[in-house]
């Protein structure tokens, strides 16, 4: 305990005795986390928006006009049983006409009876990329006359989503590699000035573990500080951007996730990366001075 | 203490630093290791501290076989030695007390023992009252005394000093050498690497002369006895 306490204190003290370098390390960890985090949050929101839009996309399975409403309703279980269908909503002729009437000037519908329309099912799909197969399965149900699947729109969503997730994955990966590289170099720089100290420790018979421990503690603490600072800055910036967007015109169209719903995973990931990069960086950086 | 048998050291660049050197230093001896720069003195010293391994031959220091000792056992060897350098090598942001206490921390000494032992050693080297000073607030001679205190604090079997007076004026050099002599009289083996002829000749001690990687004389007749 005596020795452990001493080493812990040494690690903590050296953060202050090497103030500028500690500041530099914390800043770098923070900057890297902010860049990665901001991009990650952007990607999550884009994904979420696309998800919202996707779930609004529905295909219509129109029932044969000779079917009565009761007969049509009886088809619901068959429609719902088709693979990839998440929800089914029965829409009567009257409701279909009312929907149309809402969207177009009333005059157009003057003199038109609800019986002009056909009963229909609004079907929501799980995976839009399987739209064509699902439509085909719906057509094969006895009593379904027609399926309107707006296939182009569905394919459009799928393409956008694939591109966004592909691009964001590649970018985040690049950012992670760049961050680790910058981090390693920063810590290398901070320990370069202390190689003399390490040489002295070796000469008086310190084991490598004894030399490493304070560096490990120092890296851990710096990583933690960087992560916590980055978290609060991210939170602040996110809220400002969130308010701006939601207050503006775009806010009516898209929905941005509030930070509070994302903060736990963001905090955990930040702390995880901060601690890992800090501790690992501290150990790599002194590796070269521990030979012989 | 030290046993060198037909030792050669060839550096990767091809430099023959030592060739066929044999030397024995017994417990309680005071030995000057002398020679011009580039003669191989520093390589000899590094052989003893485990920084350099022999290319061939046998090197034994305080019971460790230096050709075979595992890297993780080097700290154990170094705890039996006290090493002093020309440039003092103190830690700038630690005060005198902490610089000395540090060597005890490394070996896992208790805080209570550290508080007892360090003032005692500082008094021995004549630094009583300077405990709170930082190295840069001390003169060169005082800094070297801190280094000696650090080397002594764990009561090593042997002290190895590499040009310990290189950065000191003649009076301070003499003082320092007398301090090392006193330490030797208290029972610690002392090996001093130097090229300062006057200083060596002021003490009648064993002198081992090296030139071009070979021992050319070994006796008690002073520096350059062969001239």
CATH number at residue B191: 3.40.50.300
Q: Which residue of A has its CA nearest to B109?
A: A3
Q: Phi/psi zone of residue A286: left (φ > 0), alpha (ψ -120 to 50 degrees), beta?
A: alpha
Number of domains in chain B: 1
Q: How does the average pLDDT of chain A come out, rounded?
A: 81
Residue B13 lies in a domain: no
Sheet holding B2-10, edge to edge: B16-25, B2-10, B56-61, B64-65
Looking at per-residue pLDDT, the higher value among A290 and B140 belongs to B140
pLDDT at A107: 64
**B94 in A contact zone (CB under 8 Å):** no
Of A206, A145, A49, nearest in space to B106 by CA: A206
pLDDT at B227: 47
Residue B225 lies in a domain: no
Q: Smallest CA–CA separation between A16 and chain B, in Å?
A: 11
Residue B205 lies in a domain: yes
What would the mean pLDDT of A265-274 be, rounded to a whole number? 91
Angstrom distance (rounded) from CA B176 to CA B142? 9
Residue B2 lies in a domain: no
Which residues of chain A are at the B interface, by a Cβ-Cβ cutoff of 8 Å?
2-3, 6, 17, 196-197, 199-208, 210, 292
**In chain B, which residues have pLDDT < 50?**
225-227
pLDDT at A184: 67
Q: Smallest CA–CA separation between B147 and chain A, in Å?
A: 11
Residue-wise pLDDT for A152-198, tens only, equals: 777 777 788 788 778 878 887 787 677 667 766 766 776 777 777 78
Residue-wise pLDDT for A215-226, tens only, equals: 888 888 888 999
Say if CB A235 and CB A256 are below 8 A apart: no
**B22 in A contact zone (CB under 8 Å):** no
Angstrom distance (rounded) from CA A45 to CA A241? 13
pLDDT at A124: 86
**B71 in A contact zone (CB under 8 Å):** yes
Residue owning tokens 């006009």: A65
Going by the DSSP 8-state scheme, the letter that residue B24 receives in this structure is: E
Q: Using 50, 70 and 90 to split pLDDT, how confident is the model at A31?
A: confident
Q: Smallest CA–CA separation between A222 and chain B, in Å?
A: 20
**B53 in A contact zone (CB under 8 Å):** no
Long-range pairs, A147-156, Cβ under 8 A, ≥24: A147/A59, A147/A60, A147/A61, A147/A62, A148/A59, A148/A60, A148/A62, A149/A59, A149/A60, A150/A57, A150/A59, A153/A57, A154/A57, A154/A125, A154/A128, A154/A129, A155/A128, A155/A129, A155/A131
Q: Using 50, 70 and 90 to split pLDDT, how confident is the model at A106?
A: low
Residue B198 lies in a domain: yes
pLDDT at A183: 64
Residue owning tokens 């009761």: A70
Say if CB B17 and CB B9 are below 8 A apart: yes
pLDDT at A69: 83
Chain B residues with CB under 8 Å of A213 CB are none
Residue-wise pLDDT for A54-82, tens only, equals: 777 778 888 888 888 888 888 888 888 88
Of A19, A36, A24, A55, nearest in space to A179 by CA: A36
The boundaries of the domain holding residue B129 are 28-50+81-219
Most confident segment among A88-97, A135-144, A165-174, B58-67:
B58-67
pLDDT at A84: 85
Residue B16 lies in a domain: no
pLDDT at A135: 85
Phi, psi of B29 (to 5 degrees): -80, 160
pLDDT at A105: 65
**B113 in A contact zone (CB under 8 Å):** no
Chain A residues with CB under 8 Å of B50 CB are 292
For chain A, domains (ranges, CATH) are: 2-53+156-290 (no CATH), 58-149 (3.30.70.3040)
Residue-wise pLDDT for B107-121, tens only, equals: 888 889 999 999 999
What would the mean pLDDT of A246-256 be, rounded to a whole number? 74
Residue B103 lies in a domain: yes
Angstrom distance (rounded) from CA A150 to CA A141? 19
A272: pLDDT strictly greater than 70: yes
Q: Smallest CA–CA separation between A197 and chain B, in Å?
A: 6
pLDDT at B56: 95
């Amino acid at each position: 305990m005596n020795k452990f306490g001493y080493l812990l204190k040494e690690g903590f003290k050296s953060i202050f005795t090497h103030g500028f370098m500690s500041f530099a390390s914390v800043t770098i960890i923070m900057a890297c986390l902010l860049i990665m985090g901001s991009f990650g949050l952007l990607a999550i929101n884009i994904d979420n928006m696309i998800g919202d839009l996707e779930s609004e996309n529905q295909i219509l399975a129109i029932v044969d006009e000779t079917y009565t409403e009761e007969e049509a309703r009886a088809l619901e279980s068959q429609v719902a049983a088709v693979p990839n269908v998440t929800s089914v909503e029965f829409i009567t002729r009257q409701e279909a006409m009312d929907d149309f009437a809402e969207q177009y000037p009333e005059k157009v519908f003057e003199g038109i009876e609800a019986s002009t329309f056909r009963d229909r099912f609004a079907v929501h799909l799980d995976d839009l990329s399987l739209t064509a197969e699902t439509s085909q399965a719906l057509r094969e149900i006895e009593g379904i006359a027609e399926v309107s699947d707006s296939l182009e729109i569905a394919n459009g969503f799928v393409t956008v989503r694939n591109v966004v997730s592909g691009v964001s994955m590649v970018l985040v990966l690049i950012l992670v590699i760049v961050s680790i590289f910058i981090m390693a170099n920063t810590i290398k720089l901070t320990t370069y000035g202390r190689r003399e100290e390490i040489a002295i420790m070796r000469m008086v018979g310190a084991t490598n573990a004894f030399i490493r421990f304070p560096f490990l503690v120092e890296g851990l603490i710096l990583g933690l500080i960087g992560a916590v600072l980055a978290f609060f800055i991210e939170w602040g910036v996110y809220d400002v951007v969130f308010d701006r967007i939601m207050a503006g015109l775009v806010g009516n169209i898209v929905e941005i996730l509030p930070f509070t719903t994302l903060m736990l995973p963001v905090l955990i990931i930040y702390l995880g990366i901060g601690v890992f990069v800090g501790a690992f960086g501290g150990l790599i950086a002194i590796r070269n001075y521990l030979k012989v | 203490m030290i046993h060198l048998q037909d030792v050669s050291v060839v550096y990767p660049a091809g430099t023959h630093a030592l060739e066929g050197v044999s030397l024995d230093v017994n417990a309680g001896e005071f030995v000057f290791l002398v020679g011009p720069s580039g003669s191989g003195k520093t390589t000899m010293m590094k052989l003893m501290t485990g920084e350099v391994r022999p290319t061939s031959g046998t090197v034994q220091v305080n019971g460790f076989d230096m050709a075979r000792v595992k890297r993780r056992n080097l700290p154990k060897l170094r705890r039996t030695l006290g090493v002093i350098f020309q440039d003092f090598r103190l830690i700038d942001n630690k005060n005198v007390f902490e610089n000395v206490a540090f060597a005890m921390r490394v070996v896992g000494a208790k805080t209570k023992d550290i508080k007892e032992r360090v003032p005692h050693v500082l008094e021995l080297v004549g630094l009583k009252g300077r405990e709170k000073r930082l190295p840069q607030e001390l003169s060169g001679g005082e800094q070297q005394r801190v280094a000696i205190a650090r080397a002594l604090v764990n009561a090593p079997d042997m002290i190895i000093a590499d040009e310990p007076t290189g950065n000191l004026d003649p009076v301070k050099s003499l003082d320092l050498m007398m301090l090392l002599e006193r330490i030797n009289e208290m029972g610690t083996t002392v090996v001093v690497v130097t090229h300062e002829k006057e200083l060596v000749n002021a003490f009648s001690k064993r002198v081992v002369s090296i030139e071009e990687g070979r021992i050319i004389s070994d006796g008690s007749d002073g520096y350059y006895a062969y001239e």
